[in-house]
Amino acid sequence: MSKIFVFPGQGAQVVGMGYELYKTNAAARAVFDEVDDALNQKLSSIIFDGPMEELTLTANVQPAIMATSIAMLRASNEPLPEYVAGHSLGEYTALCAAGAISLGDTAKLLRVRGNAMQTAVPVGHGLTAVILGLDIDVVRDICASTDCDVANDNCPAQVVISGAREIVEATMEKLKEAGAKRAMPLALSAPVHCRMQEPAADAMRTALENVEIKTPNAKFISNKTADVMIDTNEIKDELVYQMTHGVRWRESVLKMHELGITDMVEIGPGSVLTGLAGRICPEINAKKLEI
């Protein structure tokens, strides 16, 4: 029997997440306080009290979800398993959990990442949309014909596309014509995992040059390769690459099964990854960490 901890990405946030742990658990409280100090901002007040509009700003929500996830992990006293993985920004959380990046550096990197993603594309110029009911190969072929990017291969029949607004809108229409059950824009302030984020990738490359990444204490399954990645230089390259390329989550979960992973524990707000795992590979016992 082998276990993996997985950590969620943007969209899992809610105002008040982690507050009960902050009040009752010293280890969790220390996480939020350290993140506040690293960012020189009382981010914990925004996490606990909102407003939601401020929490969901990309520069806030990314370190906020990471901080809440790490607080939950440390409060649980769960030992680190053989494997870790994360969805999009969740990769930073996974690497922090595995001791590859310090908590303070992780918070600072995610602040840079959020700011860079927002400034890379003027508001309103980009769009991200979820496509339901079509096979990934069909979505890829149509995206190739329209110059749209596949941002997330989440699970069978759930794919996220991203890029310039007019291109994504035209691609959504083509996908509907091809039989998509639904094609819906997502409420994100910037397009994700697409070529429009090249300036953000450059910003992350610069930021990562000044950060020490250690060999993870658990085997890290990468969004880039959908396979184990241990080499620290490869990990740095991966964190830049993921800015402009899609998240291979469906393939990553299938790889987990291939590696003999039997149990998945999702740590963080929400339960999106638990639900996706059930659709991708029911053989894996996926559950939320309950504290």
Alpha-carbon distances of 17 from 22, 29, 46, 128, rounded to whole Å: 10, 13, 10, 25
Contacts of 274 (CB under 8 A, 6+ apart): 264, 266, 286, 287, 288
- Pick the catalytic residue: 87, 193, 245, 252? 193
Distance CA 57, CA 62 (A): 9
**Residue linked to tokens 């749209």:** 148
193 is catalytic: yes
How many residues are present in the chain? 291
The Cα 252–Cα 255 span in angstroms is 5
Q: Residue 31: what are its φ and ψ, rounded to 5°?
A: -65, -50
How many CA atoms, within 13 angstroms, populate the side-chain half-sphere of residue 75? Answer: 25
Residue 69 annotated among the catalytic residues of the structure: no
Catalytic residue among 44, 69, 87, 88: 88
Cite the active site residues: 88, 193
